[in-house]
Amino acid sequence: MLKPIKKKRVSDLIVEQIREMITSSEMEPGQMLPSERELVQTLQVSRASLREALRILEIMGMIETRAGKGIIISEKKTEGLESFEFWLKAHKEALKEHFEVRLVIEPDAAFYAAHRAKHETILKMRKAVEEFRKCKDENDSIGMIRHDSEFHNLIAQATGNHTLLVLMETITRSLLEGWKATLHIPSRIEKTISEHTDILSAIEKRRDAEARDLMRKHLVNAISDLKEHGMADERHAK
């Protein structure tokens, strides 16, 4: 049966090529990939598209980008819950920082978004929630991460505060661990769709305090679910 042809981002095509190179060759964990400059020249893509692709590959656990060293192939880990719990413990500090920063910024961002969001931005938020749901149905993990972070960035955009938007974009671009961690908990994916829907509804109805409370609850719930799977952190329990 014929299926609709989906347009692909340049970054997705880069991911496919680098992933194929890693999996089909005899490259070993710890081995260096070509530099960003070399990859840009070889693939004939923009640096922005390449960096988005590298971010996706890092979320997938295939590579690590180390300051001063470059891009290396990640150590292969066993699959399943045991490996995820090991990963949680190994990235505990990064996860703490990820959610601490988001708890400081995002509840108030939702508050201001409820005051200032333009109609077109609300439509984009609604589309991000719908696309997240579609990616969940298609088991598209990278798509879920993309539309999850997009929803949060759109809330920051809706505030009309450029500094806040830059901070949020930096979080979604640089603090990868939080987006990756919650994706590994199937029940959290369902909850995220429901919680995003509730937050969007509060913003649409201009219920500022409710939007702030729902955003805080959304983040605290994610932390709680991660704790159940091995991320011990008493600082967020209060």
- For 81-236, CATH number out of 1.10.357.10, 1.20.80.10, 1.10.10.10, 1.20.120.530 equals 1.20.120.530
- 199 burial class (0-12, 13-18, 19+ CB within 10 angstroms)? buried
Over the chain (238 residues), the average pLDDT of each successive run of 10 is 64 86 78 90 91 79 77 64 57 81 96 97 97 91 86 96 92 71 79 96 98 97 82 46
Name which CATH class applies to 10-73.
mainly alpha
- Cα separations (Å) of 51 from 7, 9, 40, 93? 20, 13, 10, 24
Q: What residue segments make up the domains of the chain, in order of their start?
A: 10-73, 81-236
pLDDT of residue 144: 87
pLDDT of residue 210: 98
Which residues on adjacent β-strands are paired with residue 6? Answer: none
Query: How far is the C-alpha of 151 from the C-alpha of 160, rounded, in Å?
Result: 15
Domain pair 10-73 / 81-236, same fold:
no
Residue with tokens 């290396």: 72
User: Within 10 A of 17 (CB to CB), how many other CB atoms are there?
Assistant: 14
Query: How far is the C-alpha of 182 from the C-alpha of 222, rounded, in Å?
Result: 7
Indicate whether this model's pTM tops 0.75.
no
- Cα separations (Å) of 167 from 101, 105, 195? 10, 9, 22
- Which residues lie below 8 Å from residue 133, measured CB to CB, with a gap of 6+? 193
Burial 108-138 (b: 16+ CB within 10 A, else e): bbbbbbbebbeeebbebbbebbebbbebbee
- Structure tokens of 57? 């590959």
Number of H helices, E strands in the chain: 11, 2
How many residues are listed for the chain in this entry? 238
Give the residue from 24, 52, 8, 3 showing the smallest Cα distance to 140.
8
